[in-house]
Chains A and B, each alone.
Chain A
Amino acid sequence: MSFGHLPYDVAHLLGGGVLLLSFVLLYQRRIGAVINAFAMQGTLLALAAAWQGYVQGAPGLYLTAVLALAAKGVLIPLALHAIVRRLDLHRTVETALGIGPSLVAGVGLVGLAILVVLPATEGARALAREDLALALSVVLLGMLMMISRRNAISQVIGLLSLENGLILAAIGVAGMPLVVELSTAALVLMVAVVAAVFAFQIRERFDTLDTHHLEEHRGERR
């Protein structure tokens, strides 16, 4: 299975779509658009998982796909929209690193991921290699988003998008037990829930979700 075969091409297309949406996440200036882009990424991920389930003949992956679609594609974005409405947030994204520089950095990170993964996985299946490179890029872009945004909601989305990358890596590798995938997903979801609770608390105390304001209240200052 390599370039030119249908299973490979479709998997490649879907993985590339997930990566592309990571970039879309990076350059959105409005928070509603960020959430929508994240929902699309979750949907694409669900499709990728379903396609892999079909290609590998692993019915467990269909479950992953359904879960991803339900949680990432529908529920979490709806919840985030609700939060934004309820808290009456600024609808703009407050960036710490400008949009342009973040995109340049993102391109660099993708290049780095390809440089690392392709030589390291020599001898593995072409699909797995491409998939791993795409997944690592998505993970790195998620991290980049976490550090380049000031708003707590954007940071949570960065974390969830990072987890999308992990799932993408997991579904690309044949034989990864379902338990591992599910527990990883559950773990990140829990972290997201905790982060959301914190976001509410921060909002209540400081009337903002900009984490920058927390720094004035840290102990042990010299």
Chain B
Amino acid sequence: MLTVLVLLVGALAALGGAAMPLARSAAGARLVHAGCVAAGVVLAAGGLAGLLGGPAALELPFGPPWGPARLALDALSSWFLLPLGIAVACASLFALGGVHGAVPARELVPWPLFVAGMALTLLAADGFTLLLGFEAMSLASWVLVAHDHAQAENRRAARIYLVFAGFGGLALILACGLMAGGAGDVAFAAFRDAPPEGWRAAAVLALVLAGAGSKAGLAPLHVWLPLAHPAAPSHVSAVMSGAMTKVALYVLARFVFDLMGPAQPFWLGAPLIALGAASAVIGALRANLEEDTKTLLACSTIENVGLIAIGLGLALAFRGADLPALAALAAGAALLHVLNHAVFKTLLFLAAGEVLHGALSRRIDRLGGLIHRMPWTAWAALAGVAAAAALPPLSGFASEWLLLQALLSAWRVGDLAFQMGAAAATALAALATALAAAAMVRFWGLVFLGRPRTPRAAGAEESGGAVRIALVVPAVLTVLLGLVPGLMLDLAEPALRLMAGAAAPRADLLAVGAAEGGARYWPILVAALVAAAIGLVVWLVRRRAPAGVARGPAWDCGFMAPPHHLPFGDPATQPSAAGFGQPLRRMLGESLLAAREGVAMPPPGDTRPAVLESGFHDPALAALEGPLPRWREALATQAEKLRDLSIRQCLGLTFGAVVLMLALLAWLEGR
């Protein structure tokens, strides 16, 4: 199977090359996207085969100058191939349906390369190949983020994304170097033979957290996500959110669980838990305040990545405290959420993309009432939204429930400070989950319910064909994954053994449980109960309703009739995106997101109206940048002066540089 996957990576790279001429015609673009659909299916099948079969390793006959490129497929990488394959297949299918003519080459060429980079990262078995894949993934996705570079905000997003990608790659290179030590052997087998200890372990963890964490969107390195996701095409943001953050989490898990060896102290998990909790809360809160659908979903991704990081950190702590069963529980929750989040977030981004295509806007304040015009999209998105809000019996609930069970068992680690921290993390995770539910209600309610806020939203049109399939498949998967979490945990067992040294606590096939005799969750039973309750309500309403349906005008809350120039009603009579988020902004935003609100009152005698101004900004970017922008500005101003030099002065600069180099050489020789 590994051979097939390696050949697939090669084929994807070749497809990227061939995409240049193919982009000239619609048929060629469709061919490229169809190839990527097939690649996604093969990747997911490869993941399944890797989980069911055994591990495999392969040495390529070529590679870096000092040795062969090593590749391997084990349980952990197989598990991460599943979300990658599903996300790529659905997103490519969506893109396939959206091709209506020649596609710009800069949008088509990087797409297969992006997929190939992610697959290579998962298959790598030495530091060099890992970094190669990771950087290919970063660069290809950067090109895709920058595809619409006519707009200044997209250019800014791409620039910030590139800086973060470069920073992450640098941190990972340093981490690999630190793992390799003096010998300089970057094979994973060599890493495992000499696991770092003490300060080296802490340094590797910090570097991996900075490198993989910045890619995954862990706070405080999450700032690029809400900027880059809206800038990329919809199918790309779906994969960036659904799969690329997971690949980064895979790198994190590969380092801390596998390469750094099992003999690590429990406190190594603490930074992961802390950063995860912070990301979860900030992401969920921002998701409640953003007014752009894709930005909102990107913030929700930060929240989910935070939850997964909490799971990974707990697993690490439990393993260090010699509690393998609990470690497996936490790791199982994290792995399950990786898969579930990949599926439902891909679905939600694709739905947002379809809304953008149909109603021509990403701004919530320009949408509304789309369930009438885009029923397939609306109902598919409802499945994803319910999963993201962690409603039983959908997929998000199962994994978040398991995570909460693991958090509630954190007192079993016998360190008081850790117990206190875990209790705080539990509270923060619960808060984040509730905030995420609120954000999802806001997203789906404002976009799909109510009345259209603009004529364009009233005339939205839904695509059929491949796009519809691309929405229905992940929606069905979201429901199915929610119903059989026990089966998925069984499937993940080899990966859990690799990470935690034990299998997850077994319940029966249809249930998941925290421990023997502990809490249990039977999703199918819950689904049956929920279905029965809904059926009862529907039946009662039908029974008591008068025969025949009469449609009347929507009640406008007592506002006066809309003026003639607003045939679709006054938008102000519906809640706006900012208005819906106002209570949360006032409650939590002021301290966490520097939210502000003020009334600009004109002086007496001025005829301008008073204006209520409100907004927020994430302080993370400014804090990360520090004085760097000012220094760059000063440096650029100085460098600008070079342009005014005369020809003679330019020659003199060259001459001076040559003389300086010669002097340096003479000095070095003289020493």
* CB-based nearest A residue for B664: A116
B646/A119 in contact, CB under 8 A: no
Judge whether B540 is part of the interface by a CB distance below 8 angstroms: no
Judge whether A88 is part of the interface by a CB distance below 8 angstroms: no
A211/B659 in contact, CB under 8 A: no
A193-222: contact bitstring with B at CB < 8 Å (1 yes, 0 no)? 000000000000000000110110000111
Q: How far is the CB of A33 from chain B (nearest CB, A)?
A: 22
**Residues in B whose Cβ lies below 8 Å from that of A112:** 659, 662-663, 666
Judge whether B648 is part of the interface by a CB distance below 8 angstroms: yes
Number of residues from B at the complex interface, CB < 8 A: 17
Judge whether A68 is part of the interface by a CB distance below 8 angstroms: no
List CB contacts (< 8 Å) of B536-594 with chain A: none
Judge whether A170 is part of the interface by a CB distance below 8 angstroms: no
A147/B651 in contact, CB under 8 A: yes
A140/B659 in contact, CB under 8 A: yes
Judge whether A146 is part of the interface by a CB distance below 8 angstroms: yes
A143/B658 in contact, CB under 8 A: yes
List CB contacts (< 8 Å) of B641-671 with chain A: 643-644, 646-648, 651-652, 655, 658-659, 662-663, 665-666, 669-670
Q: How far is the CB of B651 from chain A (nearest CB, A)?
A: 5
Judge whether A182 is part of the interface by a CB distance below 8 angstroms: no
Q: How far is the CB of A219 from chain B (nearest CB, A)?
A: 10
B646/A147 in contact, CB under 8 A: no
Judge whether B640 is part of the interface by a CB distance below 8 angstroms: yes
Complex Cα gap A96–B640 (Å): 24
**Residues in A whose Cβ lies below 8 Å from that of B646:** 211-212, 214-215
Judge whether A124 is part of the interface by a CB distance below 8 angstroms: no
Name the residue in B651, B663, B666 with the highest tally of chain A Cβ atoms < 10 Å from its Cβ. Answer: B666
Q: How far is the CB of A126 from chain B (nearest CB, A)?
A: 18
List CB contacts (< 8 Å) of B617-648 with chain A: 640, 643-644, 646-648
Judge whether A113 is part of the interface by a CB distance below 8 angstroms: yes
Given contacts A140-B659, A143-B658, A144-B655, are A214 and B647 in contact (CB under 8 A)?
yes
Complex Cα gap A140–B640 (Å): 28
B659/A116 in contact, CB under 8 A: no
Judge whether A109 is part of the interface by a CB distance below 8 angstroms: yes
Given contacts A222-B643, A222-B644, are A116 and B652 in contact (CB under 8 A)?
no
Q: Chain B binding site: helix, strand, loop or mixed by DSSP?
A: helix
Which interface class (under 10, 10 to 19, 20 to 34, 35 or more) fits A?
20 to 34
Complex Cα gap A214–B648 (Å): 11
Judge whether A191 is part of the interface by a CB distance below 8 angstroms: no
B666/A211 in contact, CB under 8 A: no
B647/A211 in contact, CB under 8 A: yes
B662/A113 in contact, CB under 8 A: yes
**Residues in B whose Cβ lies below 8 Å from that of A221:** 644
* CB-based nearest B residue for A146: B651
Q: How far is the CB of B163 from chain A (nearest CB, A)?
A: 27
**Residues in B whose Cβ lies below 8 Å from that of A113:** 662
**Residues in B whose Cβ lies below 8 Å from that of A116:** 662, 665-666, 669
* CB-based nearest B residue for A211: B647
**Residues in A whose Cβ lies below 8 Å from that of B669:** 115-116, 119-120
Which of B648, B662, B670 lies in contact with A119, CB distance below 8 A?
B670
**Residues in B whose Cβ lies below 8 Å from that of A143:** 651, 655, 658
* CB-based nearest B residue for A215: B646
A211/B648 in contact, CB under 8 A: yes
A147/B665 in contact, CB under 8 A: no
* CB-based nearest B residue for A122: B669
Q: How far is the CB of B544 from chain A (nearest CB, A)?
A: 78
Q: How far is the CB of A161 from chain B (nearest CB, A)?
A: 14
Complex Cα gap A150–B646 (Å): 11
* CB-based nearest A residue for B641: A222
List CB contacts (< 8 Å) of A21-53 with chain B: none
**Residues in A whose Cβ lies below 8 Å from that of B647:** 211, 214-215
Q: How far is the CB of B668 from chain A (nearest CB, A)?
A: 9
B666/A115 in contact, CB under 8 A: yes
Q: How far is the CB of B655 from chain A (nearest CB, A)?
A: 5
Complex Cα gap A112–B669 (Å): 12
B666/A220 in contact, CB under 8 A: no
**Residues in B whose Cβ lies below 8 Å from that of A109:** 659
Which of A120, A147, A220 lies in contact with B643, CB distance below 8 A?
A220
B666/A147 in contact, CB under 8 A: no
Complex Cα gap A140–B659 (Å): 8
**Residues in B whose Cβ lies below 8 Å from that of A119:** 666, 669-670
**Residues in B whose Cβ lies below 8 Å from that of A120:** 665, 669
* CB-based nearest A residue for B666: A115
**Residues in A whose Cβ lies below 8 Å from that of B663:** 112
* CB-based nearest B residue for A108: B659
Complex Cα gap A147–B645 (Å): 13
Complex Cα gap A140–B658 (Å): 9
List CB contacts (< 8 Å) of B401-429 with chain A: none
**Residues in A whose Cβ lies below 8 Å from that of B640:** 222
List CB contacts (< 8 Å) of B73-122 with chain A: none
**Residues in A whose Cβ lies below 8 Å from that of B644:** 221-222
* CB-based nearest B residue for A105: B659
Complex Cα gap A113–B640 (Å): 33
Further 9 A-B residue pairs, CB within 8 A, beyond A140-B658, A140-B659: A112-B662, A113-B662, A119-B670, A120-B669, A144-B655, A211-B646, A215-B646, A215-B647, A222-B643
The 7 closest A-B pairs by CB, nearest first: A115-B666, A119-B669, A147-B652, A116-B666, A215-B646, A143-B655, A147-B651
User: Can you list 16 contacts pairing A with B, beta carbon distance less than 8 Å?
Assistant: A112-B659, A112-B666, A115-B669, A116-B669, A119-B666, A120-B669, A143-B655, A143-B658, A144-B655, A146-B651, A147-B651, A147-B655, A150-B648, A212-B646, A222-B640, A222-B643
Residues of chain B whose beta carbon lies under 8 Å from any beta carbon of chain A: 640, 643-644, 646-648, 651-652, 655, 658-659, 662-663, 665-666, 669-670
Residues of chain A whose beta carbon lies under 8 Å from any beta carbon of chain B: 96, 109, 112-113, 115-116, 119-120, 140, 143-144, 146-147, 150, 211-212, 214-215, 220-222
